[in-house]
Structure 1
Amino acid sequence: MAKTYSNKINKIRSFALALVFIGVIVMYGGIFFRDNPIIMLIFISLGMLSILFSMVVYFWIGMLSTRAVVVTCPNCEKPTKVLGRVDMCMHCREPLTLDPDLDGKEFDENYNKKKKQSAEQ
């Protein structure tokens, strides 16, 4: 199966949304332990921590999104935000790059990773 790529901002937002749902499900799991208030409190606390962590992730990606470069996708001609050297269009999943050295090359998320400096330099 081919690996599917998506926009980095959308990936992080989806992760934060998943944390909200996981937190709610964990808190509902505490209902099954109504007879034991300590275990119920642990479940509710873990659920609240998950929801609070999702709030931190949403705030972080919001701050990161304000610094992202807005470009017009050449395929769908809609504005999209690009993080890093390579990213995907939020609308049509067209590979985008801000680095002229990567034009025409196969899309690979590894282009965003910093290369290790050799010991000689």
Structure 2
Amino acid sequence: MALKYSNKINKIRTFALSLIFIGIAIMYVGIFFKQSMIVMSLLMIIGCLATLSSAAVYAWIGLLSTKAVQVTCPNCSKVTKMLGRVDACMYCREPLTLDPNLEGKEFNENYNRKKQPVNKEN
């Protein structure tokens, strides 16, 4: 069974998109509380903050994306962007690494952390 990995840039973009929908849903729920101006206003403000935070996340990932390393995927031959030591292809989800020490090892996103987990096998 082949595991499907996802690209970090796509994960963050998906999170930002979900923030938009969550914010709009919260504001929509606020419409049902027309009798209570405090609850309605509170829900509208929270929904608006979620939507605005989505814009901040999109801006952040856009800036981060410009610093990402572009590599050609060996599986699909398309140019993809990598963040960190290990990442997945944006198109075919092939695990990728730029670190020669990690080639041939099992794909693990923990390799991107500064503090590496202790490997008890060695």
TM norm structure 2: 0.91
Give, as a single letter, the amino acid of the residue that structure 1 aligns with 2:93.
Answer: R
User: Aligned partners of 1:56 and 1:73: how far apart in 2?
Assistant: 30
- Summarize deviations over 1:86-116 as a string: whole Å, max 9, x none: 0000000001001011111110101101127
Structure 2 CA distance for partners of 1:22 and 1:74, relative to 1, 3 Å: same
Give, as a single letter, the amino acid of the residue that structure 1 aligns with 2:62.
Answer: G
Q: Indicate the residue corresponding to 1:98 in structure 2.
A: 98
What does 1:1-121 correspond to in 2, within 5 Å? Answer: 4-115=4-115
- Summarize deviations over 1:43-86 as a string: whole Å, max 9, x none: 10000000011111000000000000000000000000000000
User: Aligned partners of 2:32 and 2:2: how far apart in 1?
Assistant: 41
Q: Is the 8 A contact 2:5 2:95 kept in 1?
A: no
Q: Is the 8 A contact 2:8 2:87 kept in 1?
A: yes
Runs of 4+, deviation exceeding 3 Å: 1-4
Give, as a single letter, the amino acid of the residue that structure 2 aligns with 1:98.
Answer: L
Gaps of 5+ in 2: 117-122
Q: Is the 8 A contact 2:88 2:94 kept in 1?
A: yes
User: Aligned partners of 1:107 and 1:97: how far apart in 2?
Assistant: 9
Structure 2 CA distance for partners of 1:38 and 1:3, relative to 1, 3 Å: farther
Identity of aligned residues (%): 66
The size of the alignment, in residue pairs, is 116
Q: RMSD value over aligned CA atoms?
A: 1.5
The SS at the match of 1:96 is strand
Report the Cα offset of residue 37 of structure 1.
Answer: 1.2
Give, as a single letter, the amino acid of the residue that structure 2 aligns with 1:85.
Answer: R
Gaps of 5+ in 1: 117-121
TM norm structure 1: 0.91
Q: Is the 8 A contact 2:24 2:47 kept in 1?
A: yes
